[in-house]
């Protein structure tokens, strides 16, 4: 039998229970590591499940930051330098990735404490995660303050994309299962995926076609 919870019940929940409940309602989400470095060369790495596709032309992607305090080292570094990376998480590194959510001092690099090595390539300012299979180099474009809950959205343009060979289809579709990208739900639950199908573009008077059979 289906259960029901009202707004009043949600607001009356114990804080941590409410946080877990509401965070799970959005369904499965993309989860990635965001790499930054400050002007002094101090590297920072943080896990994010609030990654949002904004548009394809130009190629834009967004991150959502919770209110400060505490200090958000990733946000500060992005605003100061203008560059950051988004690195997909795979089965081999998800526990190390989760550990980056701990509140380390700004002088402590999450790359070091988790043994997730950084790498720099093609002259891009921010560090990529060496063991990530899909890596994006992002240039900061816009900051939007959301007044209703004091969060901040940061929008960036995708400058570089790195991915394993044999993952990119002729139609431009990047097969994330082949790249071993995982997903998450809530704040601490990680999942592998199983593709059901790829379907043709939906039109009012045309039957759907499986793109995997053609």
The pLDDT of residue 105 is: 86
Residue 28: closest CA among 178, 189, 150: 189
Distances in whole angstroms, Cα of residue 55 to Cα of each of 50, 100, 161, 166, 176: 16, 28, 16, 25, 19
Overall average pLDDT of the 82-92 stretch: 98
- On the question of pLDDT at 214 being above 60, the answer is no
How many angstroms separate the CA atoms of 193 and 183, rounded?
7
- Tell me: the pLDDT tens digits for 1-17? 999 999 999 999 999 99
Asked if residue 51 lies in contact with residue 86, where contact means CB atoms within 8 angstroms, the answer is yes
- Tell me: the pLDDT tens digits for 20-73? 999 999 899 999 999 999 999 999 999 999 999 999 999 999 999 988 766 689
138, 139, 142, 147: CA torsion to nearest 10: 40
Overall average pLDDT of the 64-91 stretch: 91
The pLDDT of residue 102 is: 92
Mean pLDDT of the chain: 94
Of all residues in the chain, what percent carry a pLDDT higher than 90? 89
How many angstroms separate the CA atoms of 175 and 43, rounded?
30
Overall average pLDDT of the 146-152 stretch: 94
- On the question of pLDDT at 84 being above 80, the answer is yes
The pLDDT of residue 112 is: 95
The pLDDT of residue 69 is: 67
């Amino acid at each position: 039998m289906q259960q029901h919870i009202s707004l009043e019940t949600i607001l009356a929940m114990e804080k941590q229970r409410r946080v877990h409940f509401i965070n799970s309602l959005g369904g499965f989400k993309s989860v990635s590591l965001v790499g930054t470095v400050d002007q002094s060369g101090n590297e920072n790495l943080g896990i994010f499940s609030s990654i949002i596709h904004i548009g394809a032309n130009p190629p834009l992607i967004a991150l959502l930051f919770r209110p400060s305090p505490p200090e958000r080292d990733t946000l500060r570094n992005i605003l100061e330098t203008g560059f950051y990376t988004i690195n997909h998480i795979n089965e081999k590194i998800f526990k190390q990735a989760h550990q980056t959510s701990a509140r380390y001092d700004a002088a402590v690099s999450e790359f070091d404490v988790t043994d997730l090595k950084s790498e720099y390539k093609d002259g891009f300012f921010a560090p990529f995660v060496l063991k990530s299979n899909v890596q994006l180099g992002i240039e900061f474009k816009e900051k939007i303050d959301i007044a209703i809950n004091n969060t901040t959205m940061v929008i960036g343009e995708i400058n570089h994309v790195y991915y394993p060979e044999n993952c990119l289809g002729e139609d431009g579709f990047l097969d994330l299962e082949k790249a071993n990208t995982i997903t998450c739900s809530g704040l601490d639950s990680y999942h592998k995926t199983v593709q059901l199908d790829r379907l043709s573009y939906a039109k009012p008077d045309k039957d759907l076609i499986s793109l995997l059979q053609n």
